[in-house]
């Protein structure tokens, strides 16, 4: 193989046979003399880049893998990829999976998937769905919580089953509490009458912290079978004051009970913002030490990371480390401003310190399908994961609410994650 220096030498020899050969020869000689310095600078830049990408600890692998300190390479857990293990290994979705009633004139937003405790072939999906054909712009006050069913696997397609809570109810997430042997549904909302003749926004409140759209205040229901639900009431309230998180919403819960820790405690991640959400939207954690009824005490006075985010989804991995997926509100993400919508944060202990990763994008606005097509959506939010049931907490599916470009309607997309997700999708 010819080196750059050899090539320049041949060009110099050829230049002697052309007109103005003395000029060409001088040029190439100067280039050959400069080449060692250029190559040295290139090698230094490459070495610097390589060094910066080498891992020194598992934190450099986003706590989604193990760092080989000898090679400086992360061995990512299944479901995660990239040099820092910070990208969800999303795969093509089936074209008609998920929950999509837009052909009927009905929109939905986000979802949480749970396998039935008695019928292993039945999966339940809980989502926010908008009444009377209203679109995403009218989520408040037209949102209600519905349950849908699938016997085609966790990816669906899902069919509407029943209404769990009428307007206004939004942001449902469901988690199983081993300590209570019950399912817990956290959501926001309060009973609100809506106009059926046309979609229109209404000023209303569901509690302290917001008087405009009812988003502040987190409520709870419990169930043994995922079909019949019992109201607990509002368990975490906002405040009518100047706190950065006077307005509280976007709940995501995780029970702290394990086989080695017989506790009733519940961890609750939430999005906070100033009164009437008149400022930055950030994430914090509250803890209910005595069980799901509360009280819920904020873990700290400040947000767990400074970046603007909403829709946190929290979980503990097989090593006992903590993770949060979010909908990022950065300039090139947010509400239709670009592809940077999915971010990941992690910590060894839920009390922190938390690291918000900006090295990699956990997911973006594009969804690929198994027929070779792809859709880049205007909005993609409300991330939640479906995990393996073998104790390894391997992510199998990512669910998000999506809104196509130039379309007021929205629906729920479910995409497989990693090889295990592809297998589970079939």
Q: Which two tokens stand for residue 417?
A: 């994650």
The 322-328 sheet, strands edge to edge = 309-316, 322-328, 342-347, 355-356
Contact 55, 69 (CB under 8 A): yes
Rounded to an integer, the average pLDDT of 229-257 is 98
Residue 1 has pLDDT above 80, yes or no: no
The count of C-alpha atoms lying within 13 angstroms of the C-alpha of 228, restricted to the half-sphere facing its C-beta, is 2
53: pLDDT confidence band, cut at 50, 70 and 90? Answer: confident
Q: Is 301 helix (H, G, I), strand (E, B) or coil?
A: coil
Place of tokens 């497989």: 416
pLDDT at 10: 46
Rounded to an integer, the average pLDDT of 53-71 is 97
Overall pTM > 0.85: yes
Residue 27 has pLDDT above 80, yes or no: no
> Which of 3-7, 236-240, 401-405 bottoms out in mean pLDDT, i.e. has the lowest?
3-7
d(CA 228, CA 211): 31
376: pLDDT confidence band, cut at 50, 70 and 90? Answer: very high
Residue 394 has pLDDT above 90, yes or no: yes
Contact 326, 306 (CB under 8 A): no
pLDDT at 426: 80
Residue 41 has pLDDT above 50, yes or no: no
Percent of the chain at pLDDT above 70? Answer: 88
pLDDT at 16: 44
52: pLDDT confidence band, cut at 50, 70 and 90? Answer: low
Residue 18 has pLDDT above 60, yes or no: no
Element (DSSP H or E) covering residue 26: helix 21-53
Span 343-365, pLDDT tens digits: 999 999 999 999 999 999 999 99
Cβ-in-10-Å burial (0-12, 13-18, 19+) of 212 comes to middle
Question: Where do the DSSP E strands lie in 15-151?
Answer: 65-68, 73-76, 80-81, 87-88, 108-115, 123-130, 143-150
Mean pLDDT of the chain: 91
d(CA 49, CA 6): 28
Rounded to an integer, the average pLDDT of 64-90 is 98
170-182: b or e for each residue (b if 16 or more CB lie within 10 Å)? bbbbbbebebbee
Rounded to an integer, the average pLDDT of 189-197 is 96
Rounded to an integer, the average pLDDT of 80-101 is 97
Span 139-188, pLDDT tens digits: 999 999 999 999 999 999 999 999 999 999 999 999 999 999 999 999 99
Residue 321 has pLDDT above 70, yes or no: yes
Rounded to an integer, the average pLDDT of 109-115 is 97
Cβ of 158: how many Cβ atoms within 10 Å? 28
pLDDT at 35: 47
The 143-150 sheet, strands edge to edge = 108-115, 123-130, 143-150, 159-165
């Amino acid at each position: 193989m010819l080196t750059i220096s050899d090539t320049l030498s041949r060009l110099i020899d050829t230049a002697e046979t052309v007109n103005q050969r003395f000029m060409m020869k001088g040029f190439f000689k100067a280039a050959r003399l400069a080449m060692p310095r250029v190559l040295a600078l290139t090698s230094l830049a490459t070495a610097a880049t390589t060094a910066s990408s080498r891992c020194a600890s598992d934190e450099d692998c986003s706590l989604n893998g193990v760092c080989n300190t000898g090679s400086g390479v992360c061995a990512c857990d299944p479901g995660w990829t990239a040099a820092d293990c910070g990208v969800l290994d999303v795969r093509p979705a089936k074209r008609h999976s998920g929950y999509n009633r837009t052909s009927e004139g009905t929109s939905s937003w986000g979802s949480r998937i749970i396998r039935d405790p008695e019928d292993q072939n039945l999966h339940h999906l809980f989502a926010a769905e908008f009444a009377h054909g209203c679109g995403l712009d009218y989520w408040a006050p037209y949102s209600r919580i519905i349950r849908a069913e699938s016997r085609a696997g966790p990816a669906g397609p899902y069919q509407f089953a029943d209404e769990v809570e009428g307007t206004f109810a939004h942001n449902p997430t469901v988690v199983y509490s081993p300590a209570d042997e019950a399912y817990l549904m956290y959501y926001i909302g309060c009973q609100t009458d809506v106009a059926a003749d046309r979609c229109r926004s209404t000023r209303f409140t569901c509690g302290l912290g917001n008087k405009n759209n009812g988003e502040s205040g987190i409520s709870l229901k419990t169930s043994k079978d995922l079909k019949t639900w019992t109201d607990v009431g509002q368990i975490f309230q906002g405040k009518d004051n100047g706190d950065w998180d006077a307005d509280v919403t976007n709940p995501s819960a995780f029970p702290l009970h394990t086989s080695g820790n017989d506790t009733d405690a519940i961890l609750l991640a939430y999005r906070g913002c100033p009164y009437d959400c008149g400022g930055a939207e950030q994430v914090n954690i509250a803890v209910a030490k005595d069980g799901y009824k509360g009280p819920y005490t904020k873990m700290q006075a400040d947000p767990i990371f400074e970046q603007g985010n909403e829709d946190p989804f929290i979980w503990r991995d097989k090593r006992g480390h903590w993770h949060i997926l979010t909908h990022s509100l950065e300039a090139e993400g947010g509400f239709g401003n670009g592809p940077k919508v999915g971010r990941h944060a992690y910590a060894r202990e839920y009390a922190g310190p938390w690291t918000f990763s900006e090295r990699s994008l956990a997911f973006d606005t594009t969804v690929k399908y198994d027929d070779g097509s792809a859709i880049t959506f205007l909005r993609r939010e409300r991330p939640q994961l479906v995990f393996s049931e073998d104790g390894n907490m391997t992510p199998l599916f990512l669910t998000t609410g999506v809104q196509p470009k130039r379309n007021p309607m929205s629906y729920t997309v479910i995409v497989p994650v990693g090889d295990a997700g592809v297998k589970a999708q079939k």
